[in-house]
């Protein structure tokens, strides 16, 4: 049984904010941002746009592409949406605090009335966790065949725009993939263990690594608003709930877990980096990727980076990159691609996929 990606999509807000524009508002410069992060611009959603709007738009593009490319028998995206059994949304900027799940709103927008819907709040690791969750849920029930996995963020809403250490890093956007289960049930090993399906040329999701180090929960967080620190009646609130980050601690964690996750997947799969066509990392900071590449002695060109255009879009960064590659021919049938990322929690992981 395999779980393959049969459609990809993305939704990027039109408004593009360059480093120069930011430098006109806060004490920063294009030179500092580029040299410390590789970021040149970010896209910012308008005031009326929430995570479900971008997420549904990206998912619709994924459905349309699957129809266009003849990957499904259905003739329209709306018909295909009716065949989706599960919607998993990774987001750290859900439409509403606590509930309802943003995935339910996406389900409604798409008319995907037959789909179960759930959110995953692993921040930047949300898409990697989401792919594995969706694939596992497709595999455990013969009635489930198709799932949408979406990463969608409006991070501009939870950024303190006066904090230059932080606000220059983030952007808004969404990416989505449509997964389809093919083949029969079998007694094969679960995707996360056992040696090397990459050797067989088998397509789809071949392997996933997931991990967390909860001791670092405080390094990347939104402190106010939950049951630990609720807003209190009568309290005068003069700031938005905003991302707080220990940049150095997150940087060190990121380089370590990206390096270890890539090594682990290559080792378990008994392949080398040369066997991979591409590595698609979470786009948080180009320097993190460069440091991991150096440690692993993998050429930087093997890593796909689009952070210059979009900045860090958290759970959306990997599916946005996958969609760009899928549409541009950077990923073709048979390409072997590895995703790898990290995020609040602290969490990390990676997926190995034969396109």
**Which residues contribute to the site for ligand ACO (CB under 6 A)?**
28, 32-33, 36-37, 92, 123-124, 164-165, 168, 220, 243, 245, 247-248, 250-251, 254, 284-285, 312, 314, 343-344
Least distance in angstroms from the C-beta of 19 to ligand ACO: 9
- Catalytic, out of 19, 43, 282, 326: 282
**Strand order from edge to edge, sheet including 347-354:** 204-212, 347-354, 336-343, 278-281
Of 48, 28, 31, which is closest to residue 156 (Cα–Cα)? 48
| Residue 199 annotated as catalytic | no
Q: CA neighbours within 13 Å on the CB side: how many for 163? A: 18
Least distance in angstroms from the C-beta of 181 to ligand ACO: 30
Between helix 30-37 and helix 286-296 the angle, nearest 10°, is 30
Whether 319 and 149 have beta carbons less than 8 Å apart is answered as: yes
Least distance in angstroms from the C-beta of 222 to ligand ACO: 9
Q: Helix, strand or coil for residue 298?
A: coil
Residue with smaller CB distance to ligand ACO, 43 or 139: 43
Residue with smaller CB distance to ligand ACO, 311 or 331: 311
Q: CB nearest ligand ACO: which residue? A: 247
Q: Which long-range contacts (CB under 8 A, 24 or more apart) does 22-30 make?
A: 22/167, 22/168, 25/161, 26/161, 26/162, 26/164, 26/167, 27/164, 28/164, 28/168
Residue with smaller CB distance to ligand ACO, 136 or 249: 249
Residue with smaller CB distance to ligand ACO, 216 or 343: 343
Least distance in angstroms from the C-beta of 344 to ligand ACO: 4
- Catalytic, out of 124, 167, 285, 351: 124
| Residue 108 annotated as catalytic | no
Residue with smaller CB distance to ligand ACO, 259 or 285: 285
Q: Which residue has the tokens 């971008």?
A: 54
Least distance in angstroms from the C-beta of 21 to ligand ACO: 13
| Residue 312 annotated as catalytic | yes
Query: 42 CB contacts (<8 Å, ≥6 apart)?
Result: 16, 17, 170, 171, 172, 310, 311
> Could you give the CA distance from residue 300 to residue 232 in angstroms, rounded to a whole number?
49
Q: Active-site residue numbers?
A: 124, 282, 312
């Amino acid at each position: 049984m395999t779980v393959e990606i049969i459609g990809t999509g993305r939704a990027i807000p039109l408004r593009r904010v360059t480093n120069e524009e930011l430098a006109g508002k806060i004490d920063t410069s294009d030179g500092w941002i580029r040299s410390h992060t590789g970021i040149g611009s970010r896209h910012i959603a308008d005031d009326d746009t929430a995570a479900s709007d971008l997420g549904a738009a990206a998912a619709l593009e994924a459905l349309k592409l699957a129809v266009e490319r003849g990957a499904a028998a259905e003739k329209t995206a709306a018909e295909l949406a009716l065949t989706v059994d599960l919607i998993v949304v990774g987001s750290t900027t859900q439409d509403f605090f606590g509930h309802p799940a943003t995935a339910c709103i996406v389900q409604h927008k798409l008319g995907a009335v037959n789909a179960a819907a759930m959110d995953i709040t692993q921040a930047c690791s949300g898409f990697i966790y989401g792919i594995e969750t969706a694939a596992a849920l497709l595999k455990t029930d013969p009635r489930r065949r198709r799932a949408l996995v979406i990463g969608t963020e409006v991070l501009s809403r939870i950024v303190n725009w006066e904090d230059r250490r932080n606000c220059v890093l983030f952007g808004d956007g969404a990416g989505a993939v449509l997964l389809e289960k093919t083949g029969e049930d079998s007694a094969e090993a679960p995707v996360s263990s056992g040696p090397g399906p990459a050797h067989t040329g088998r397509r789809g999701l071949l392997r996933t690594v997931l991990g967390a180090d909860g001791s670092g929960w405080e390094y990347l967080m939104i402190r106010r608003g939950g049951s630990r620190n609720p807003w209190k009646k009568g309290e005068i609130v003069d700031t938005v709930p905003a991302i707080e980050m220990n940049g150095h601690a997150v940087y060190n964690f990121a380089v370590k877990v990206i390096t270890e996750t890539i090594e682990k997947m290559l080792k378990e799969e008994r392949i080398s980096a040369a066997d991979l066509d591409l590595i698609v990392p979470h786009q948080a900071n180009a320097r993190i990727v460069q440091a991991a590449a150096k440690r692993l002695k993998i050429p930087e060109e093997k890593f796909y980076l689009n952070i210059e255009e979009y900045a860090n879009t958290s759970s959306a960064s990997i599916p946005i990159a996958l969609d760009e590659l899928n549409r541009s021919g950077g990923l073709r049938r048979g390409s072997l691609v590895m995703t790898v990322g990290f995020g609040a929690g602290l969490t990390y992981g990676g997926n190995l996929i034969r396109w």
